[in-house]
């Protein structure tokens, strides 16, 4: 079955809490092997290398990822460049405030994944009337509100769906097949 | 005195409400001439051309500005390219949800302004514990919460401060002079 | 077999020439059904809707896509939102100069595709010592240099590879399988 | 007179060469105090703090700045946040190839500057028929071609112009005053 890595850096613990929710969502698909791993763990690069899909999370620091997360990709992942093409990736970020740069950080995280040849995605679905994760899941500080929590879970679930449908070649896991009644907001 | 244009496109009226709040903030500085103008008004390009500072607002549609706002710059503003350098600019956007792309839309709006030679800025200040406008002011749908409203006003106020300090050459309007007691959150 | 749409807007013809090269690259994979279509053609939205993969191209106007291309997605594609998830997408753009915003335009094009639920990608490979298409293929005006032309073709080829490997479920088309000797520059 | 800091990180020496060219351009305005400083120098943060304008340069690593440059802002500059508002900033970056992410890196550098309250800008002017620095100056590896070199110099010159016109309050240094005959390409 598919392997999912939820790879994150966290200083305050907020992004770590998002990571756990993303993993919770990925586990909604039976049989997925889901691992939550901090970049400070010794085998983080190895876990990332072996994963079929990666959800990459960082605190939003100055509208960009943390320097530690960047160093991890520059140094520990760099040897694997040109050998990871075709993995599936997505992003999540916690900022100090709405408007604080979490979306822009997700975009920068997706840029790194794209540079490594990943296929990157966001969610079309609205999780609630006021929460979405179109370019990655975002939170202000710790994810507390149920809608923010669910946007993290839903991101992980979608990652598992793409890994299942495309890498494990199980078309029944495609979200348009799994959730045929998906509706547009207001529809 | 300085001339401020709050230039926007709005279909639902949400971005228009943000525009009015941005203008309200700009008027906090006495003597500023502030004009709120929709791109659909006949003299919008003329108002923009004459302004010293522009706050540019758009609905977030697909994570980018509305096509109407883009057409306005491509067609109506294009003749003025190379003659507007040095104006001061900032951005605001309303999206359907948090995480829906409003920050990324502000970044695209700033890109247009930068292409025209504007000096673009965001707010350092947090407006409240959970609201900032680091790269432009953002709202979900209509700006209803006081902190969202104040982030719009504060953006307009800052625009007026930069126009006053730099274009009108009134150093007393520099925010570090006007608000010497500005504090970091938590400080 | 897989269906590829190379969907573009072009005023000067430069982006159209890129589109033809992207299609040429996609046709390197036998059996792919490749269609080059301008957004001004009557059936453009229908072609896009039916495609498994879309390469989306726009002139770089003010560091963002053309307003016509944006209108196409806002109006003609909008009814299909929430029903296109899982298609594969990539971007290309011609600008007036290096440094003129073509990369940033590709990023905005990818943002639209991501909003529609596409999995978006760039090339890891360097096409030559000085050309890559890490976030989409870029050109200055008309694609004339062989390395620029090849970066367009290679983007189309990769799109066909992902469509073949993931949507047609033909693992032999995965680039790491097709090109096992891929090397890092300088390696 | 105005103080300009050209602040950079460089591993290969390519970005350093760009920095020297940016400084050369800034020195075209008489009386500007221009300092080129690597982030690894002991007084880099102090030089940045005292500058009126900063040109910020980084290698493009994975489409984002180097982790060292990010760490510098996260750690050494962080104590000055909320006290640097109103400085003027711009960006430059060297990548391995055209299309390799240098524009996107400049955008991320501008994001950091904007977070710190800087007014950020790019060049409207084309330096030659095929080179511009609309969102920052970019180079492939070492800046060798005259047009790439001149785009670096022109960026520095413009930074000095804005510092002179807006912070030193010398309206004669405004580029529209200094270069009244500026023409559009092809005009």
Q: Does A107 sit within 8 Å of B136, measured CB to CB?
A: no
Predicted confidence band of residue D187 (pLDDT cuts 50, 70, 90): very low
Residue C184 placed within a domain? no
Tell me which residue of A19, A6, A15 sits closest to A52, measured CA to CA: A6
User: Nearest CA to CA, how far is C124 from chain B (Å)?
Assistant: 24
Write down the mean pLDDT value for chain B.
96
- CA distances A119 to A184, B135, C56, Å, are 24, 27, 16
Whole-prediction pTM value?
Answer: 0.98
Residue A134 placed within a domain? yes
Which domain, by its residues, includes C145? Answer: 3-178
What residue ranges in chain A does DSSP mark as E strands?
Answer: 3-8, 33-38, 53-59, 88-95, 119-120, 137-140
Query: Quick one: tokens of B5?
Result: 């244009």
CB D99 within 8 A of CB C154: no
Chain centroid, CA B56 distance in Å: 5
Cβ of residue A125 closer than 8 Å to a chain C Cβ: yes
Query: D129 contacts in C (CB within 8 Å)?
Result: 97
| Residue of C71, C74, C108 with shortest CB distance to B108 | C108
Q: How far apart are CA C92 and CA C112, in angstroms?
A: 13
Cβ of residue B104 closer than 8 Å to a chain A Cβ: yes
Per residue in C11-62, pLDDT tens?
999 999 999 999 999 999 999 999 999 999 999 999 999 999 999 999 999 9
Residue D3 DSSP one-character state: E
Cβ of residue A117 closer than 8 Å to a chain C Cβ: yes
Q: How far apart are CA B40 and CA B38, in angstroms?
A: 5
Per residue in B120-167, pLDDT tens?
999 998 999 899 999 999 999 999 999 999 999 999 999 999 999 999
Interface with D, mutate which of C12, C63, C102, C103 (most D CBs under 10 A): C103
| Residue of C68, C73, C104 with shortest CB distance to B111 | C104
Residue A184 placed within a domain? no
Residue C186 placed within a domain? no
- Specify which residues A5 forms β-bridges with: A35, A54
| Residue of B67, B75, B108 with shortest CB distance to C74 | B67
CB B24 within 8 A of CB B151: no
User: Nearest CA to CA, how far is A56 from chain C (Å)?
Assistant: 16
Residue B126 placed within a domain? yes
Predicted confidence band of residue C181 (pLDDT cuts 50, 70, 90): confident
CB B30 within 8 A of CB B81: no
Interface with D, mutate which of B108, B122, B178 (most D CBs under 10 A): B122
What residue ranges in C30-105 does DSSP mark as E strands?
Answer: 33-38, 53-59, 88-95
Q: For the residues D124-148, what does the mean pLDDT come to?
A: 95
Residue D147 placed within a domain? yes
Q: Does B135 sit within 8 Å of D175, measured CB to CB?
A: no
Residue C121, Ramachandran bin (φ over 0: left; ψ between -120 and 50: alpha; else beta): beta
Tell me which residue of C67, C60, C62 sits closest to C92, measured CA to CA: C60
Residue B184 placed within a domain? no
> Per the structure, how many domains does chain A have?
1
Residue D129 placed within a domain? yes
CATH number of the domain encompassing residue A149: 3.40.50.360
Predicted confidence band of residue C1 (pLDDT cuts 50, 70, 90): confident
User: Nearest CA to CA, how far is C20 from chain A (Å)?
Assistant: 23
Tell me which residue of C170, C184, C174 sits closest to C1, measured CA to CA: C170
Query: B136 contacts in A (CB within 8 Å)?
Result: 99
The chain C residue lying nearest A78, using CA atoms, is C184
Q: How far apart are CA A76 and CA D84, in angstroms?
A: 34
Which pLDDT score, from 0 to 100, does residue B180 have?
A: 82
Helix (H, G, I), strand (E, B) or coil at A98: strand
Query: Quick one: tokens of A144?
Result: 């507390």
Cβ of residue D67 closer than 8 Å to a chain A Cβ: yes
């Amino acid at each position: 079955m598919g392997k999912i890595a939820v790879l994150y850096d966290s200083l305050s613990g907020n992004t770590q809490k998002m990571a756990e929710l993303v993993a919770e969502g990925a586990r909604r698909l039976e049989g997925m092997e889901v691992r939550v791993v901090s970049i400070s763990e010794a085998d983080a690069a190895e876990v990332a290398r072996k994963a079929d899909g990666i959800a990459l999370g960082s605190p939003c620091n100055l509208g960009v990822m943390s320097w530690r997360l960047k160093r991890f990709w520059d140094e520990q992942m760099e040897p694997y460049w040109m050998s990871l093409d075709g993995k599936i990736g997505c992003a999540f970020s916690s900022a100090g405030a709405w408007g604080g740069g979490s979306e822009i950080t997700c975009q920068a995280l997706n840029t790194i994944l794209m540079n490594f040849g990943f296929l990157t995605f966001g969610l079309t679905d609205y999780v609630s009337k006021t929460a979405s994760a179109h370019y990655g899941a975002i939170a202000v500080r710790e994810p507390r509100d149920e809608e923010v929590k669910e946007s993290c879970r839903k991101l992980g679930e979608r990652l598992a769906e793409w890994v299942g449908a495309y890498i494990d070649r199980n078309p029944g896991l495609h979200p348009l097949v799994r959730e045929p009644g998906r509706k547009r907001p207001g529809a």
